[in-house]
Amino acid sequence: MTEPDIARVEARIRASFAKQGLMRTLGARLATVLPGQVEISLVPRNEVSQQHGFVHAGAVSAIADSAAGYAALSLMPPERGVLTAEFKINLLAPAAGEHIMARGKVIKAGRTLTLAQAEVFAERDGKERLIALLTATLMAIEGKDGIVD
């Protein structure tokens, strides 16, 4: 991709992300956008915690799903949107730290279906720890530019 194409992809992803009410509610932030790769960050706070004080698995799953979905969307033509058809998440450790980061990447992009993965890390004292791994199948849809579900 050329620089203008990369800039257009990033603008498209950022515009779509800005429309996501759940991401706004969680306090999630779109960090990095590259073709086939997207990072979403979340600063833990009481509103997204569970009863033991860790970030709730629902919040971890949501940012992982969105990171994988936006990574897939970044490789799709402008007239196509994306919907999650299925995902599986393995929660490997409690989501505890100063910062939670979901790094989505495309494993295989197809015309209709895309396989993507997201690794979720918790950062504490400058060190990252893998806390979750998500794999997702995403479906391209016509006429829903920039939609991730």
Provide the pLDDT for residue 5.
Answer: 87
In a domain, 148, yes or no: no
Confidence band (pLDDT; 50, 70, 90) for 1?
low
In a domain, 149, yes or no: no
- Note down the domain range covering 63: 3-142
Mean pLDDT of the chain, nearest integer: 94
In a domain, 137, yes or no: yes
In a domain, 53, yes or no: yes
The CATH number of whichever domain residue 82 belongs to comes to 3.10.129.10
In a domain, 31, yes or no: yes
- Residues 21-32 have pLDDT tens digits of 999 999 999 999
- Whether the pLDDT of residue 4 is over 70: the answer is no
Cβ(66)–Cβ(132) below 8 Å: no
Q: Give the span between the Cα atoms of 10 and 62, in whole angstroms.
A: 20
In a domain, 93, yes or no: yes
Provide the pLDDT for residue 145.
Answer: 57
In a domain, 68, yes or no: yes
Nearest to 106 by CA among 122, 82, 128: 82
What value does the mean pLDDT take over residues 33-57?
97
Nearest to 130 by CA among 117, 141, 142: 117
- 89 residue type, one letter: I
Tally the domains of the chain.
1
pLDDT more than 90, % of the chain? 89
What value does the mean pLDDT take over residues 43-55?
96
- Residues 80-114 have pLDDT tens digits of 999 999 999 999 999 999 999 999 999 999 999 99
